[in-house]
Amino acid sequence: MHRQGLRIFLVLSGVFVAAIGVGYYAARFQPTGRGVGQAPYLFFDHLPWMPFVAAFLGIILSSMTRRVACYIDRDGERVLRFDFVARLNHWLIALPCIVVIFSGLALGVFFIPRLTPDGQATAFLFNIHFVAVVFMLVGFFYLLGNWVLSPRRLFAFIPFVGGKANPIYEGLIFYLHRAGLTKRTVHPDKFEGSEQLAFLMAMACLFPLVISGFFKVAARFYEFPAGLSHFMNLTHEFFTLALVFYLIMHIPLTTAPWIFAGFKAMVGMGKGGGGYVPLDWAKEENPDWIKHLEAEGKVK
Amino acid sequence: MINDGWAGHILHLDLTELKAKAISAANYKRWGGGHGLGTALFWDYCEDKTLTDGRDPRNVCVLSSSPFCGTPVPSGGGRTEVTGIGTGQWPISWYTRSNFGGRFSSMMKYAGWDAIVITGKAEHPVWVDIRNGDVAFVDARTLWGKDTHATQEAVWAEIGMRRGTKSAWKLLRNTIDAGRTTQKPAVLCIGPIGENSVHGALINDAGNGAGQGGFGSVWGSKNLKAVSILGAGEVHVADPAGLIQARFITKEKYVDDPDKPDLTGWTGMATGAITVAFSAPPTHKRRPQACQSCIGGCRTRYANGKHNEQSCQETAWYGAFARRFYQDPVDIGNANLDAAHAAALTGINTYGLNSALPWLEYLYHEGVLGPNGKIKSELPWEQLGRPEFAAAFFDCIAQRTDIGADLAEGYLQALHKWGREEDLESGEADFPYWGMANHGYDPRSELEWGYGTLMSERDFNSHDLNNHLFWAPFGSAVSAKPMRIEAERAVELVAERLGPYAKGRKECLDYTESNMYSEALAQLVRWHLHYGRFWKNSCGLCDFKWANFFNTNTNGYWGATGSEDAGEQVWWRVVTGEDMSFEDGIERGRQIYNLDNAIWTLQGRHRDLCKFAPYIYKKDVQGFNLGMFPFFFWPAPDENGKWEYREIGSRHLDEARVEEWKSTFYGLEGWDAKTGWPTRRTLETMDMAFVADELEAVGKLGAER
Amino acid sequence: MSIDDLDEKERAMLEPENPGRRKFMLFTGMAGVAGFLAGSFLLPGKLEAMPDSKGFLVVDLNKCQGCGSCMMVCSLGHHGAASQSLSRIQIQQDPFANYPDDVFMAPCHQCEDAPCVQACPVAANRPAMELGNVRMIDQERCIGCEQCINACQFTPSRVQWDPKRHKAQKCDLCTDALYLGEYGGIGGTQACVKVCPVNAISFTIEMPDQSREDSYQVNLRGKGWYARGFSDKD
């Protein structure tokens, strides 16, 4: 794995785990200092500004990192698919997202009952949720900031832009051809059709989740109309389940044997280290992408 | 909603395999709940309906709630019906019933169960832990032999519930938040008597008991020590606002103000009814205590705790004996309660003692029974009347020592073993029907009681007419209070509710000699049986409050029964959503009664078995037969048709005329008068062809007329 | 990770710096952080002082007959279904205990400084000013964090958990008892008071002494009660 990447991963993980530890400690019941009764220290209650600050921290982070364009490394017979920023961004969203989802489900969503046996465990889960949300928001707004700075990277995901083929057709033929069920072929760009659609689905889930999440946090200090609060709660629950459905597809389809080279690149263990995929593999998987890179002179 | 009033599921406990299974209640809804539900389940689950001893492992015991249980239907939300083949009856232990109040049935509904079917026999003693949908069989070998209170406390401790009140919310199980409660589990259990004899009762909390039928002994034979149930769910009803409003109306209109009681009132729905029978409660330091949803509790909890929830029958059976040693009313009350407490702990059906103890004492005084008698007994018979004697007597039955070894198999069984048939001729053994003790409302006096018992399978024990036409005037007479309703008006008010068979027919309530064997009496008994089978024992309406024929709190003295604002059918409608009339319920009761008779028929019933003990046909009764009161009041017309409350004089029944009456009754029921068996035509009109098929297969279908 | 960590080829492939946009992002981010950090000190705090409830339930522990009718109509009136666990008044019994310790009645106290109100992070549990200041939980706002349940100082907690709906609930003096069939709340009916067969629960507008839990336990028995054979003394 890329050594720098590993170091950053370990540092961030350490901070994450430490924050969870603080959350555990805070979840114990202690006198409130406001008369009778005891209460846990819920991060969402006492630090409602932090998720908003996290979003802006993500934007700041985007201003501090530089992108390396994708290019073909002829000597190394490899192509840079995911630069450091792409990898950092992906995992800064994905890993906290897993924790956000699991903690959210455990707190009860629609037909899934609350899994915690008592108030203290509930408070701890809320604190876990908070820590993961903060990390995830840094990552999500880092992503948005990076798109502002480099719109081209966003357009690579979006269907039809840049003369891309119909994503449904492309994705279908791509897989049918692999399965030997059709002789037709397609020539995907950097992201093939089904990946473009998956991106749209991920965004369709994440945006409402983030927006409704901000509303739910803001409800701690602002009194929204009850109907709006209710709508936001329902939105948050519904898109949680939608995101779970997305991940159930995304994780296997991005770690399957035929795409494993891409996964290795995303974790910084690509060909020769870092976010590289083998050139031969890329020529077969994303031929149009390689053609565009050659046409743009992105060859070293 | 489909499940309005119903939990929707029935729990089958297979004690042989120690397995629990849930089945849908959907196919059983036509039977209403309670007795109807229990009988239909028995019909389906009992593989051999010819059994005549409830201790056979193939017996099926069902605990049934009803759509009313767990809801605030007044005095209808808390009863559990128990059905199965009983023990200790004579000559056959019939398929029978009992019920008890308290907290069990409502807890059952909150746990999500309409009924619990118990089959098989466990290899060793077990108790069953039910918490919502989770069921566990727990080894009860350390509980076996414990009394009923110690058993319940031990079960609570195993579940993690502590004694006392004011405790925190608890999870039902320490896992997913499946529900929380502040309540203790409702535990139904048996005591040593149930473990070792036919006289066992089922006891819940301090004093809710199902005694008659010997179901405690059925459980003992199955190695089942207790069933504990804890529920955190809910019972949906069709019309919640309607139910609440009807409940409010009932309190305002039919029940007298608990803080301004009408102490001369004839209401049947008052607070604080009989607590200690025939003696004074020993202290004012007590509270009334009620079953779930009751409109006026009939029990008491005391400052000494020991006597909690003992009332009525449990405090009646020993009174006459206690008076020999205690004169002060407080002392008599305490002696009664001590004896009741001992009975509850040991888990004995005290009804049998009403007749057993006088008979045994008679044998003692005759020199037949005693240390030197032919029937050996070292019990201190001279101390009969002290609580210590009661405890010793129970112990000898539980341990099968002394005469307990024979009594443990049944009172009539012991009588026959000892060759004391003459006592049934003389009436010294006052067991008038089915080997069961005289309830006190002697069949020779209170006709509907005796006939109802003869035409069913056990001491009828339904006080509907008895409360109104015996106790109301009798109570006023002996306490020098005014007769609040004149006899004729009282009879009119009752007769108005006797539809469809006897509506408006006052003659159905005439118990004078000229009317004792009439078709009118047969219609009355039919009505009473059918009303009881559905509205009382299937819906779970408490015998103390229902029926309510008349009520001095209302204009015109109309009672709640059949009324438009608080009648039985009103509760059925607001809970289940089904718009059934009061008389539709009577018809349902007829169906359930026919199903009962089909089971009895399979067990071997024939009209020739349906007879009172010989003395009923030979000896005159004197009054109210517990030796306490020399007269029996009932409204009756004179030769000019004028109704008054009269003493039903000393008389006996004519056997031949009783047989004629039975034929009339069978005919009205649509049964074969030669056998007493149901006919196909009758069964098919009730959509019970499946019953006719099973009877026909064994050659026991009644012949058509 | 810095540019120095890149190899020669990657350094050659760095995308244009876009300094204008970067500055914009940086300043936007810093403004946002500063704004929210500052705002954290200025955001309105929780409701510290609350108006007194205009109604309270008081109970007579010596009178209750333990029938549970109050629990049934409470849950029925609010949910359309009878349930002990969803009742907002709890009656606990020990059938073997000595009277009067065999029954405990647990109504909500509508506390003067209700800790359950203080604890609510989203102001779902609060005095409803237009409804007599009754402390009640807005079911649409409640997020089910259970802080109010644990904040209640009494045993059992006077706030209940509804596992099906994932919400907390509490006594609202029947303000939101939609299935009552008549007007509830302060000025209206309290179902438990009206249904109790022995009149062991009463509604009062006078706030009991907040320093003692037993100030909510009163004697509601009189001569008529004594005439029935029960003690009218405590």
Q: What is the DSSP string of C115-178?
A: HHHHH-TTS-EEEEGGGTTEEEE-TTT-----HHHHH--SSS-SEEEETTTTEEEE--TTTT-T
- Specify burial of residue C181 (Cβ count, 10 A radius: 0-12, 13-18, 19+): buried
B119 has pLDDT over 60: yes
Q: Which chains touch B (3+ CB pairs under 8 A)?
A: A, C
CB B526 within 8 A of CB B534: no
Both C12 and C61 in one domain: the answer is no
Task: Tell me the C-alpha distance between A177 and A169, whole Å.
Answer: 12
pLDDT value for C43: 65
The count of structural domains within chain B is 4
Confidence band of A88 (pLDDT split at 50, 70, 90): very high
Which residues in B lie closer than 8 A to residue A114 (C-beta atoms)?
176-177
pLDDT mean over B431-452: 95
Q: How far off is chain B from A113, nearest CA to CA, in Å? A: 7
| Domain-embedded: residue C234 | no
Both C64 and C93 in one domain: the answer is yes
| Domain-embedded: residue C49 | no
| Domain-embedded: residue C233 | no
Partner-chain contact C118 A34, CB within 8 Å: yes
Closest CA in chain C for residue A298: C13
B174 has pLDDT over 80: no
C164 has pLDDT over 90: no
Instruction: Give the pLDDT confidence of B328-344 residue by residue, as tens digits.
Output: 988 998 999 999 999 99
Which residues in B lie closer than 8 A to residue A118 (C-beta atoms)?
171
CB A299 within 8 A of CB A75: no
Check if B175 contacts C (Cβ < 8 Å). Answer: no
Residue (of C100, C65, C62) closest to B272 by Cα position:
C65
Residue B398, both tokens: 């539980």
| Domain-embedded: residue C173 | yes
Instruction: Give the pLDDT confidence of C114-129 residue by residue, as tens digits.
Output: 889 888 878 899 899 8
CATH assignment of the domain containing B636: 1.10.599
The count of structural domains within chain C is 2
Strands B633-637 and C90-93: unpaired
Closest CA in chain B for residue C198: B258
Both B372 and B491 in one domain: the answer is no
Check if A183 contacts C (Cβ < 8 Å). Answer: no
Partner-chain contact C33 A42, CB within 8 Å: no
Helical ranges in B225-266 per DSSP H: 240-249
Both C178 and C94 in one domain: the answer is yes
Check if A45 contacts C (Cβ < 8 Å). Answer: yes
Task: Tell me the C-alpha distance between B225 and A228, whole Å.
Answer: 55
Both B18 and B167 in one domain: the answer is yes
Q: Which chains touch A (3+ CB pairs under 8 A)?
A: B, C
Check if A37 contacts C (Cβ < 8 Å). Answer: yes
pLDDT value for A33: 54
Task: Tell me the C-alpha distance between A272 and A269, whole Å.
Answer: 8
The backbone region for B641, taken as left when phi is positive above 0, alpha when psi lies in -120 to 50, beta otherwise, is left
B315 has pLDDT over 60: yes
A103 has pLDDT over 80: yes
Partner-chain contact A116 B175, CB within 8 Å: no
Q: Provide the mean pLDDT of chain B.
A: 94
Confidence band of A224 (pLDDT split at 50, 70, 90): confident
B509 has pLDDT over 90: yes
Which residues in C lie closer than 8 A to residue B297 (C-beta atoms)?
65-67, 197-198
Both C22 and C68 in one domain: the answer is no
Both B328 and B308 in one domain: the answer is yes
Q: What percent of chain C has pLDDT over 90?
A: 62
SS (H, E, C) B667-704: HHHCECCCCCCEEHHHHHHCCCHHHHHHHHHCCCCECC
Both B451 and B561 in one domain: the answer is yes
Q: Which chains touch C (3+ CB pairs under 8 A)?
A: A, B
Partner-chain contact A35 C118, CB within 8 Å: yes
The partner residue sitting opposite A36, judged by closest CB among C22, C33, C115, is: C115
Q: At what angle do helices A193-218 and A119-149 cross, to 10 degrees?
A: 120
pLDDT value for A211: 95
Partner-chain contact B164 C182, CB within 8 Å: no
Chain A and chain B share a number of CB contacts under 8 A equal to 14
Check if A69 contacts C (Cβ < 8 Å). Answer: yes
Structural domain including B334 reads 274-348
Structural domain including C88 reads 56-227
C39 has pLDDT over 90: no
Both B372 and B480 in one domain: the answer is no
Residue A7, both tokens: 């170091």
Both C81 and C185 in one domain: the answer is yes
CATH assignment of the domain containing C161: 3.30.70.20
Both C99 and C206 in one domain: the answer is yes
Residue A26: other Cβ atoms inside 10 A: 18
Both C114 and C164 in one domain: the answer is yes
Helical ranges in B203-239 per DSSP H: 215-221
Both B292 and B363 in one domain: the answer is no
| Domain-embedded: residue B689 | no
Instruction: Give the pLDDT confidence of A192-221 residue by residue, as tens digits.
Output: 898 999 999 999 999 999 999 999 888 777
Both C111 and C175 in one domain: the answer is yes
Partner-chain contact B163 C96, CB within 8 Å: yes
> For residues A278 and A108, which has the higher predicted lDDT (pLDDT)?
A278
Both C186 and C115 in one domain: the answer is yes
Both B293 and B380 in one domain: the answer is no
Both C35 and C108 in one domain: the answer is no
| Domain-embedded: residue B675 | no
Q: How far off is chain B from A109, nearest CA to CA, in Å? A: 13
Both B473 and B621 in one domain: the answer is yes
Both C97 and C174 in one domain: the answer is yes
Both C34 and C64 in one domain: the answer is no
Closest CA in chain A for residue C8: A300
Task: Tell me the C-alpha distance between C75 and C92, whole Å.
Answer: 16
Both B424 and B484 in one domain: the answer is no
Closest CA in chain B for residue C220: B259
Which residues in B lie closer than 8 A to residue C100 (C-beta atoms)?
287, 303
Residue C22 C-beta-side C-alpha neighbours within 13 Å? 12
Which residues in C lie closer than 8 A to residue B292 (C-beta atoms)?
67-69, 72
In the block, tokens 């009161």 appear at B629
Residue B542: other Cβ atoms inside 10 A: 21
Confidence band of A223 (pLDDT split at 50, 70, 90): confident
pLDDT mean over B442-453: 95
Partner-chain contact B305 C76, CB within 8 Å: no
Domain boundary among B311, B328, B348: B348
Both B460 and B427 in one domain: the answer is no
pLDDT mean over B556-564: 96
Domains present along chain A, CATH in parentheses: 3-295 (1.20.950.20)
pLDDT value for B521: 97
Q: Measured in whole angstroms, how far is the alpha carbon of residue B183 from the centre of its chain?
A: 26
Which residues in C lie closer than 8 A to residue B149 (C-beta atoms)?
96
Query: Per DSSP, what are the bridge partners of residue B97?
Result: B83
Check if C153 contacts B (Cβ < 8 Å). Answer: no
A35 has pLDDT over 50: no
Check if C81 contacts B (Cβ < 8 Å). Answer: yes
Instruction: Give the pLDDT confidence of B221-248 residue by residue, as tens digits.
Output: 999 999 999 999 999 999 999 999 999 9
| Domain-embedded: residue C94 | yes
Domain boundary among B348, B363, B388: B348
Closest CA in chain B for residue A108: B177
The partner residue sitting opposite B308, judged by closest CB among C95, C194, C197, is: C95
| Domain-embedded: residue C108 | yes
The partner residue sitting opposite C121, judged by closest CB among A44, A58, A119, is: A44
| Domain-embedded: residue B86 | yes
Both B454 and B475 in one domain: the answer is yes
B630 has pLDDT over 80: no
The partner residue sitting opposite B171, judged by closest CB among A113, A115, A117, is: A117
Residue (of C160, C147, C73, C88) closest to C117 by Cα position:
C147
Check if A111 contacts B (Cβ < 8 Å). Answer: no
Partner-chain contact C33 A57, CB within 8 Å: yes
Task: Tell me the C-alpha distance between A139 and C150, whole Å.
Answer: 35
Closest CA in chain C for residue A6: C1
| Domain-embedded: residue C67 | yes
Q: How far off is chain A from C105, nearest CA to CA, in Å? A: 21
Both B508 and B624 in one domain: the answer is yes
| Domain-embedded: residue C48 | no
Confidence band of A34 (pLDDT split at 50, 70, 90): very low
C167 phi, psi to nearest 5 deg: -135, 160
A36 has pLDDT over 50: no
Instruction: Give the pLDDT confidence of B520-544 residue by residue, as tens digits.
Output: 999 999 999 999 999 999 999 999 9
Those residues whose C-beta lies under 8 Å from the C-beta of residue B659, and which sit 6 or more positions away, are none
Interface test with A, best of B172, B175, B177, B180 (most A CBs within 10 A): B177
